[in-house]
Chains A and B, each alone.
Chain A
Amino acid sequence: MAEIRTRNPRPLSPHLQVYRLTMTMAMSILHRITGAALYFGTILFVWWLFAAATSRGFEALNSFFDTWFGQLMLFGYSWALIHHMLGGIRHLVWDTGRGLGPAEREFSAWATMVGSISLTVMVWILGLTLRG
């Protein structure tokens, strides 16, 4: 990468804190946060797969997921997956040059937020009902 080094540090563009928080901005930040969280969340997935494959520590992991913190973690994990997926679909639509107008992007921002929460709740209700 080319780097221009000057003796006096040049002013940088203003960062997040100087702007009023908007819905599109919040969704942009959340997309990155959920992405990074899912990145490290893969450790949890591999841990669970290994416990299932070797049967060592599986019951301990299961009883952890049975606590309220464990349940919250699983719910949060599935929400992050769904939110990042909806945000990604929003980006794919933008890649075609559509949905970039002020009203459209505001609508899709709210749709991503409301959609991710309601889909996650629905998926868990469905999953727990199917299981009986």
Chain B
Amino acid sequence: MTMRSPLSRVRGLGSAHSGTEHFLTQRMTAIANVPLVLFFVYLLVTLAGRSHAAVSATLSNSTTAIFLLAAILSVVIHMRIGMQIIIEDYVHHDGLKMSLMMANTFFSIAIGLCAGFAILKLNFGL
């Protein structure tokens, strides 16, 4: 028999006080993604099917590279939170949920690093 009220027992087991930050970060990256993704769509339709020389020439432009790096950073943060919400909604087994959350973080970081590396390589030509 516990003397603690149900409210005090449930406190600290809930959101761990981090939910608001995720909510705000998701909105902030969403706003940043609007111009950045529009720029990416522009690159996609103008570069699809073009020769290697044409594509690498466009991607080695400093402005293009900085915009793409910004897009990758914002997209990777946004997609990690988005996938975390999907996992939380559908996966209820604790172990599997934690594994998928970890895989989600690893995947997002790997995508960010690989894309960033490729863009830097195109620009510095190492």
> B3 on the interface (CB 8 Å rule)?
no
Cβ < 8 Å to A, chain B residues 18-75: 27, 30-31, 33-34, 37-38, 40-42, 44-46, 48-52, 55-56, 59, 75
> A89 on the interface (CB 8 Å rule)?
yes
B122 to A53, Cβ gap below 8 A?
A: yes
Q: Which residue of B lies closest to A42 (CB)?
A: B111
A2 to B14, Cβ gap below 8 A?
A: yes
Which of chain A's residues have a CB closer than 8 A to the CB of B121? 53-54
B49 touches which one: A2, A50, A52, A66 (CB < 8 A)? A66
Cβ < 8 Å to B, chain A residues 77-126: 77-78, 81-82, 85, 88-89, 91-92, 95, 123-124, 126
A81 touches which one: B10, B37, B50, B59 (CB < 8 A)? B37
Which of chain B's residues have a CB closer than 8 A to the CB of A123? 41-42, 45
Cβ < 8 Å to A, chain B residues 78-126: 79, 82-83, 86, 94, 111, 114-115, 117-119, 121-122
Which of chain B's residues have a CB closer than 8 A to the CB of A66? 49
Q: A78-B45, A92-B31, A127-B45 are in contact. Are A38 and B79 (CB under 8 A)?
A: yes
B40 to A91, Cβ gap below 8 A?
A: no
A3 to chain B, nearest CB (A): 7
From DSSP, what is the main secondary structure of chain A's interface residues?
A: helix
B94 to chain A, nearest CB (A): 7
A36 to B83, Cβ gap below 8 A?
A: yes
Q: A52-B52, A65-B48, A92-B31 are in contact. Are A39 and B118 (CB under 8 A)?
A: no
Inter-chain CA distance A31–B46, complex, in Å, is: 26
> B13 on the interface (CB 8 Å rule)?
yes
Inter-chain CA distance A38–B50, complex, in Å, is: 23
A65 to B49, Cβ gap below 8 A?
A: yes
Q: A39-B82, A46-B111, A127-B46 are in contact. Are A59 and B52 (CB under 8 A)?
A: yes
17 contacts across the A-B interface (CB closer than 8 A): A2-B10, A36-B86, A39-B79, A42-B75, A46-B115, A46-B118, A49-B115, A52-B52, A52-B59, A53-B117, A62-B51, A65-B48, A78-B41, A85-B33, A85-B37, A89-B34, A123-B45
